[in-house]
């Protein structure tokens, strides 16, 4: 009878796991013996089944660090000697931290002190067989409650970015709308009457700003959103927007700090914005360059999003136009005698928000890296 290579206990004649430590010693697919340090079977490639993840040797102890008010608890498993030494180090470190705080030492930047508490933290080794728990690792960012008390985000959209950052485990995981609402509650900013009604608006603003990425039923953080959240949380002073003096009666301050016209003026503006015009001086068949018609006919059947991308690319890369507006795209549609989308401005907005192929900066359209990559893939399929 062979012994287990992990705990030296005799291995059973039948079965696949050691009775002493639950280490898998035989492949469940082909019954071939398994090596301890291998991830799976070298005979058939079946991965090991890690059933021993909750098993902890008896000569190990649990280390626990607990802080009041902040709800921060760290619990991990170490050997007797390491656990005792680490407990002493952290106990001394926290005592020094409290002493510095009482002397008025300023702590700021990436490692702020936790909020004031009335109780001291304690570190101890529990001399009993532990129950394995998820380790909560302290981070270099203030808590959501601290961010709210210091008014770090300047707008509600910035709050959604910060909530998404925390809900996504600092940009590493996906998250849902419900997770964002939980972060509202965690920062004590949740309002049942208004938060649930307006949240979709601010999520859409964060999506349009390319800070968060909408998936099927979840969201993920863009790198731009992660960096924005870090910038907000690293602020040392309040970012609350100050009231604007001498503001017109027909204007009101919005969450993003821009002046938005009242409903009457907005309707008039929308009417003008949604009526693009043809540019009579735009040459779409220049000498020495491909015409728009020749370029357009190189691609297979297209929809509005593809049309918007192709026209923007042609104007940017072939005609080398620096400032591309909605009027340029409208002129391309009209020059090729294509059916122009009824809600033309909304069609461009959908291409920007839903595909990410083009972007706008103060009304100037340009092709994104994602859009260029899509054209390369599309071109190969067309060939």
Low-confidence ranges of the chain (pLDDT < 50): 52-58, 103, 105-135, 137-138, 241-245, 247, 249, 251-253, 255, 258-263, 268-271
Under 8 Å between Cβ of 189 and 148: yes
Residue 96 and residue 111: Cα distance in Å, rounded? 15
4-46 confidence digits (pLDDT tens): 888 889 998 888 998 888 888 899 999 898 888 888 898 898 9
Give the pLDDT confidence score for residue 142 in this predicted structure: 87
Residue 320 and residue 59: Cα distance in Å, rounded? 72
Give the pLDDT confidence score for residue 83 in this predicted structure: 59
Show the domains of the chain with their CATH numbers: 1-55 (no CATH), 60-126 (no CATH), 144-233 (1.10.10.10), 292-382 (1.10.10.10)
Residues 6+ apart with CB under 8 A from 163: 144, 180, 183, 184, 187
Give the pLDDT confidence score for residue 203 in this predicted structure: 93
121-131 confidence digits (pLDDT tens): 444 444 444 44
Give the pLDDT confidence score for residue 130 in this predicted structure: 47
Q: Is 141 exposed, middle or buried (0-12, 13-18, 19+ CB in 10 A)?
A: buried
3-state secondary structure at position 34: coil
What predicted TM-score, i.e. pTM, was given to this entire model? 0.33
Residues 6+ apart with CB under 8 A from 89: none
Instruction: List the beta strands (DSSP E) in the chain.
Output: 60-67, 72-79, 122-126, 212-214, 219-221, 251-253, 259-261, 358-361, 364-367
Give the pLDDT confidence score for residue 159 in this predicted structure: 94
């Amino acid at each position: 009878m062979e012994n287990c290579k992990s705990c030296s206990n005799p291995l059973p004649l039948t079965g696949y796991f050691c009775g002493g430590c639950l280490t898998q010693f035989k492949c469940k697919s082909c019954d071939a013996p398994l090596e301890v340090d291998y991830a799976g079977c070298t005979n058939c490639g079946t991965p090991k089944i890690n059933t021993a993840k909750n098993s902890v040797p008896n000569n190990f102890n649990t280390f626990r660090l607990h802080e009041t008010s902040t709800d921060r608890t760290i619990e991990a498993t170490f050997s007797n000697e390491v656990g005792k030494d680490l407990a002493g180090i952290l106990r001394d470190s926290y005592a020094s931290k409290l002493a510095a705080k009482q002397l008025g030492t300023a702590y700021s930047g990436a490692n702020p002190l936790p909020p004031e508490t009335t109780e001291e933290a304690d570190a101890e080794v529990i001399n009993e067989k532990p129950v394995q728990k998820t380790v909560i690792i302290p981070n270099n960012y203030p808590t959501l409650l601290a961010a709210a008390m210091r008014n770090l985000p300047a707008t509600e959209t910035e709050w959604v970015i910060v909530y998404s950052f925390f809900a996504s485990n600092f940009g590493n995981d996906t998250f849902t709308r419900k997770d964002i609402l939980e972060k509202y509650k965690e920062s004590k900013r949740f309002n049942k009457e208004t938060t649930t009604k307006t949240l979709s608006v601010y999520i859409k603003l964060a999506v349009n700003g390319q800070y968060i990425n909408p998936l099927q039923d979840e969201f993920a953080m863009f790198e731009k959103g992660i960096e924005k959240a870090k910038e907000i949380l690293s602020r040392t002073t309040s970012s609350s927007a100050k009231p604007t003096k001498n503001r017109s009666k027909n204007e009101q301050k919005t969450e993003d700090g821009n002046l938005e016209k009242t409903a009457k003026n907005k309707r008039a503006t929308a009417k003008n914005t949604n009526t693009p015009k043809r540019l009579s001086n735009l040459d779409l068949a220049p000498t020495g360059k491909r015409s728009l018609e020749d370029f357009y006919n190189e691609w297979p059947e297209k929809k509005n999003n593809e049309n918007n991308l192709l026209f923007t690319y042609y104007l940017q890369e072939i005609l080398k136009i620096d400032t591309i507006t909605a009027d340029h795209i409208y002129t391309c549609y009209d020059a090729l005698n294509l059916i122009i989308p009824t809600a033309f401005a909304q069609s461009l907005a959908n291409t920007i928000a839903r595909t990410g192929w083009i972007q706008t900066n103060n009304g100037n359209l340009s092709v994104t890296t994602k859009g260029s990559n899509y054209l390369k893939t599309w071109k190969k399929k067309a060939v």
